[in-house]
Amino acid sequence: MPKAWALPVTMAAVLSVASCSPAFWQGVSDGLAASRGYNGGGHKIMIFGGSGHQTYLGCLSCSQFDAESVFNEYGHYGSVYSAQAIMNPYSQFGSLYSATSACNPYASDPPVIVDEQGTYYGRLTVNHYRRDGPPTAELKDWLAGVCEQ
């Protein structure tokens, strides 16, 4: 990796999550579903960010091998190089300074978490001042590891 792309993100934290068992991924999905009293049913849980939450930022409930998964480091939404990835600390969605970033502890408009039916689960954010932050402890811990600077 070129020095210019050396990341302040602790890659060990990201990679340790990427190597988690399928039970972890199912737990994230089930936890999100349970947070809204929903039984899951295999619905796709997604992240949208930016102005009006128009930018698709990936899938939270998809397999880590799915091209749309935020947990797939080789996919568009899990790559540290993608402009539409919270994993990229230089993107508007992974920056410490962007108002629309999941990693800005003071973000005013962080990404939203919704399912394919439009059910709102909260915001993907490390901003502890927001009451609508990640709805599960697993997701909070994962995001803290991604955003660790």
pTM, 2 dp: 0.75
Q: Give me the mean pLDDT over the 93-115 stretch.
A: 96
β-sheet bridge partners, residue 46: 59, 114
Q: Give me the mean pLDDT over the 79-85 stretch.
A: 95
Q: Tell the burial category of 20 from Cβ atoms under 10 Å away from its Cβ (0-12, 13-18, 19+).
A: middle
5 within a domain of the structure (yes/no): no
Confidence of residue 94 (pLDDT cuts 50, 70, 90): very high
130 within a domain of the structure (yes/no): yes
Which pLDDT tens digit goes with each residue over 60-74? 999 999 999 999 999
β-sheet bridge partners, residue 122: 113
Which pLDDT tens digit goes with each residue over 37-64? 444 456 899 999 999 999 999 999 999 9
86 within a domain of the structure (yes/no): yes
C-alpha span between 103 and 143 (Å, rounded) = 8
3 within a domain of the structure (yes/no): no
Number of domains in the chain: 1
149 within a domain of the structure (yes/no): no
The pLDDT score that the predictor gives to residue 16 is 40
